[in-house]
Amino acid sequence: MNLDATGAGALIVVLVMALVTLATRWGGVFVMAFVPISDRVRQFITAMSGSVLVAIVAPMALQGDAGARLALLATAVTMLVLKKPLPAIAAGILAAALVRQF
C-alpha cells in the first residue's frame, strides 16, 4: 500500500511510524506482565541487557571503515583506563574524525 507523501499524507506516515515505535517501547513491558519474574527469568533478562548493547555494536566494528573501528577501540581503551564514559566517547569520535580527514 502506497501513501502520498504530500500534505496530510506525510503526517499520516509520521503518525504510523510513531505508533509502530510506541508499540516497541510498550510491547516488551506489556508482554512481561504475563511472565512471572522467577530467578531464571531474571538471569535471562540481566544477561540480555548487556547483550543488546553488544549486538548493536558488533556489526559496526565488522562492517565499519577504519574510522569506525578505531573509534570503538579508542572508546574501549579510554573507558578501561579512565572508567568515565564522556572522555571515552569523545576519544572515539575524535579518532573517527581524525582518520576520516585523510
Partner 1 sequence: MTDAESELHHFDRRMVWAGFRQLAPISIFVTLFGAAFGLAAVQTGLDDSVILAMSALVFAGASQFAALELWGTQVPLFTLMITVFAINARHLLMGATLYPWLRQLPPGRRYGVMLIASDANWAMAMQAFNRNRPGFGLLLGGGLALWSFWVAGSWLGIHFGSAVSNPKRLGLDMVMGCFLLAMVVGGEKNLRMLVIWSVAAGASLLAFRYLPENSHVVVGALAGGATGLLWKEKARES
Residues numbered 7 to 66 that lie near partner 1 (CB under 8 A) are 9-11, 13-18, 20-33, 37, 39-40, 42-60, 62-63
Q: Does 97 bind partner 1 (CB under 8 A)?
A: yes
- For residues 1 and 10, the answer to whether their CB atoms sit within 8 Å is no
DSSP code at position 33: T
Cell of 19: 505508533
The distance of closest approach from Cβ of residue 102 to partner 1 in the complex, given in angstroms and rounded to an integer, is 11
End-to-end CA distance of the chain: 45
Q: Give the count of residues interacting with partner 1 (CB under 8 A).
A: 74
The distance of closest approach from Cβ of residue 45 to partner 1 in the complex, given in angstroms and rounded to an integer, is 5
